[in-house]
């Protein structure tokens, strides 16, 4: 999981969900935006091995699923604080030459600069398929709530 792990509700719930499976969690975040203690403590209590990395390059070679998140501008007090947190971890086609050929890259969208648009055509870019699947799940939930199924 990469990006604003402190504020990202998707990574908080995903980390908790993944404790139901035999996985290892790896975190890459700018200074001050790491995964909150309550999430890492819960994962640890479930026997999940966790690692923190200061660079995406270091985490990439042994990662099977890369879950990117955006740095959330609205979470910062000043534009300068936001700018300091941005641009540390960007998926590019060049960077991904270091990744596994069967890896997938996910992102809850919308994205800012954390995934280069040139990477969109790479077969490992699964975020648009992820968004499409999420749309169908929301449609089904709405249909259930409205009594249409």
pLDDT at 58: 95
- Output the furthest CA–CA distance in the chain (Å, rounded): 50
What is residue 111's predicted lDDT score, i.e. its pLDDT? Answer: 92
Topology classification of domain 9-145: Rossmann fold (3.40.50)
State both tokens at 49: 């091995």
Helix ranges, the chain (H): 9-18, 37-45, 56-59, 79-85, 127-145
pLDDT of residue 85: 86
- Model pTM score: 0.91
d(CA 52, CA 35): 9
- What are the pLDDT digits (tens) for 13-56? 999 999 999 999 999 999 999 999 999 999 999 999 999 999 99
Q: Say whether pLDDT at 149 is over 90.
A: no
Integer-rounded Cα radius of gyration of the chain: 16
pLDDT tens column, 74-100: 888 888 888 888 888 999 999 999 999
* pLDDT tens digits along 105-147: 999 999 999 999 999 999 999 999 999 999 999 999 999 999 9
- Domain ranges (residues) in the chain: 9-145
């Amino acid at each position: 999981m990469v990006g604003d792990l402190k504020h990202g509700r998707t990574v908080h719930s995903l980390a908790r969900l993944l404790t139901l499976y035999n996985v290892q969690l790896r975190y890459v975040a700018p200074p001050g935006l790491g995964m909150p203690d309550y999430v890492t403590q819960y994962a640890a209590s479930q026997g999940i091995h966790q690692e923190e990395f200061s660079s995406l390059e270091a985490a990439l070679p042994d990662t099977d699923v890369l879950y990117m998140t955006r740095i959330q501008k609205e979470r910062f007090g000043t534009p300068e604080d936001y700018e300091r947190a941005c641009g540390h971890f960007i998926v590019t086609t060049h960077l991904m030459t270091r990744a596994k050929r069967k890896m997938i890259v996910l992102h809850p969208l919308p994205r800012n600069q954390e995934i280069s648009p040139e990477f969109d055509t790479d077969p490992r870019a699964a975020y648009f398929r992820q968004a499409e699947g999420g749309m169908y799940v929301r449609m089904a939930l709405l249909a259930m709530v409205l009594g249409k199924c």
